[in-house]
A and B are shown apart, each in its own frame.
Chain A
Amino acid sequence: MDSMRTASARMELLAAIDAQFDVENRVDKDGSVWVSVGKDRLFDLLGFAKNAGFEHCSSISVTDWPEDEVFELTYHLWSYRDKILLTVKSQIDRREPIVTSAIPLWGPSAQIHERELHELFGVRFEGNPDLAPLFLENWEGPPPFRKDFDWREFVRKEFYDEGNPREQGYWG
């Protein structure tokens, strides 16, 4: 599917990651590379990726695992030069979700993703100067995209009247 150039660049990338970092990695059927790294080496690995040509920070995402008390951070990076998709994953403590900001590497494109995740998951990105809420106004509840926030319950309480016979369906 992919060109010779992409295939050899991927081999080099995997070899370089193996040499410098002690991490798990896998290559998906579509050729994308997935790497899991500990929180302490996360920023080093991201810096390495930026230097290896991953100029485009496509997306940053958080997955909430309340049972394990962790947040899983996912950085999706794309190299315009080698045409490889690299996903870097790292787990951080859910009770104290603080991680170094990726702004020094990707600038505003990382900043805006981090700002969103701070609002929706409550992850603090150290070094990000602007973590103002994007979507919610006057919101005082817990970060709403966390798994333990029951939005159905919230909507019922906030917008439906238990005493109103017409709205009984929502209180079943």
Chain B
Amino acid sequence: MRATPVNRVTGADGITEGCRTEDGFDLYFGPVHPGSGNFGVKLTVRGEEVVAARADPGYLHRGFEKLMEYRTPMQNSVLSDRLCILESLNWNLVHAEAVDRLHDTEIPDRAKYIRVIMAELSRIQSHIIWYGVLSKALGFDTGFKVAFGYRDYVLDLFEFVTGGRVYPAGYICPGGVRRDFPKGTKERIRELLTKMEKMSREFEAYDNATIRTRVKGIGVLALDDAIRLGATGPVLRASGLAADVRRDAPYEVYDKLDFEIPVHEEGDAYARSIIQRREIEESIKIIRQALEQLPAEELPPVKPKAAGKIPEGEVYVRNEIARGEAGVYMKSVGESHPYRCKIRGPDFLHMIPVLEHLLVGAEVADVPAIYWSLNICPADMDR
């Protein structure tokens, strides 16, 4: 940590002038750190120990809440892709549900199942990224490359069904989904799930002593802290609370599907990485059941209610996305666009209060492991 930067004014002890503070010196983690995303944390370090951490968000703020006030729900469903680059279909679903609830429309059963299948595939794909970047953070490049290789199979399917690999252009939209599954999708998904199971076994095999020493006992989040800091989703479940919106307040067809909610007590980075692998397995289970139950009748095309007005009212919709609890508060006064659309992203809490809490007292070398064990996404934090 005492390396002298080139071409900088340095003091006698080799520390760059201006970075020195009374407590130690400042170390910027991100926003140009490889893999930190569009986000940074300013750490104050004394020797190897982090004594203070201050999140520095805002690099990806696009003002979606304001943008949505000027657009119709069908346009907004395309915007909602961008709420989190890593799991756009899940965000599509939260937004679409909010509009559906205001319209008080019952969508066809088949569309509900398609929504769940796509959302769960999106969760798997997002958890694969999580596995990949966490491996990368630990210096385990094989895991990173294997994960991103497998992720492409899921993206191939997204492209086949929605036309977009990363951004599905609002595939899950108010009123159902933009189009029915193309011919042969069920078979392709089953093939994909076989590959995902193989991947799962590979991930298990990589879980060896070397990896464990880097994550065990690191970034421990106690349960009461987790609740106080607003943690949700896998982060909360790794701290010991079996809370999952899919089970606690089922939406779409989750109440007809049988799945488990993995929970761990330890609350450290290793517990979070186990939850992540278990959730991939559970999602595979959910998709298999949904494919079995998928009604056969064809889906009528969704007619965008372009000139239609959103009925007056307000809703708060919560969904369980890969990172935790996603919420949309939508208020309509009977115009063609929402009057207010508040978006609650899980990473707003995970990347500011939770991350700052976990980093204080950690060693500098553990910062990447803690950082990526939270399954971060700067996009849904900044919105």
Contact = CB atoms under 8 A, between A and B. Distances in A.
Contacts of A58: 316, 318, 325, 327, 344
Given A30-B101, A58-B344, A135-B382, A76 B327 contact: yes
B187 interface: no
Contacts of B178: none
A106 B316 contact: no
A59 B66 contact: no
Given A108-B353, A108-B357, A112-B230, A145 B101 contact: no
Given A55-B227, A116-B348, 18 more contacts: A2-B249, A28-B315, A29-B101, A29-B104, A32-B316, A34-B314, A57-B230, A58-B316, A59-B342, A74-B329, A76-B327, A80-B243, A108-B353, A109-B228, A112-B230, A112-B348, A112-B352, A151-B66
Contacts of A59: 316, 327, 329, 342, 344
A111 B228 CA distance: 11
A136 interface: yes
Interface in A46-96: 55-59, 61, 63-64, 74, 76, 78, 80, 83, 85, 87
B230 A145 contact: no
Q: Is the interface of A mostly helix, strand, loop or mixed?
A: mixed
25 contacts: A29-B101, A30-B101, A34-B314, A58-B325, A58-B344, A59-B329, A59-B344, A63-B340, A74-B329, A74-B342, A76-B316, A76-B329, A76-B344, A83-B249, A108-B228, A108-B230, A109-B349, A111-B353, A112-B348, A133-B58, A134-B58, A135-B58, A135-B61, A151-B66, A152-B70
Interface string A120-144: 1000000000000111110000001
Contacts of B352: 112, 134
Contacts of B250: 1
Contacts of A107: 228-229
A28 B136 CA distance: 46
Contacts, number: 92
Interface of B: 57-58, 61, 63, 65-66, 70, 101, 104, 227-230, 232, 241, 243, 248-250, 255, 314-316, 318, 325, 327, 329, 331, 339-340, 342, 344, 348-349, 352-353, 357, 382
A53 to B, nearest CB: 12
A85 B318 CA distance: 9
A30 B249 contact: yes
A100 to B, nearest CB: 19
Interface residues of A, number: 40
Q: Which of A63, A108, A111, A136 has the most CB of B within 10 A?
A: A108
B227 A56 contact: yes
B316 to A, nearest CB: 5
Contacts of A32: 316
Contacts of B382: 135
A151 B63 CA distance: 10
A112 B355 CA distance: 13
Nearest to A87: B316
A61 B342 contact: yes
A63 B339 CA distance: 8
Given A28-B315, A58-B325, A109 B57 contact: no
Contacts of B58: 133-137
A2 B255 CA distance: 10
Q: Which of B61, B316, B340 has the most CB of A within 10 A?
A: B316
A160 B243 CA distance: 48
A145 B318 contact: no
B316 A112 contact: no
A134 to B, nearest CB: 5
B152 to A, nearest CB: 33
Nearest to A63: B340
A145 B353 CA distance: 23
A58 B107 CA distance: 27
Contacts of A29: 101, 104
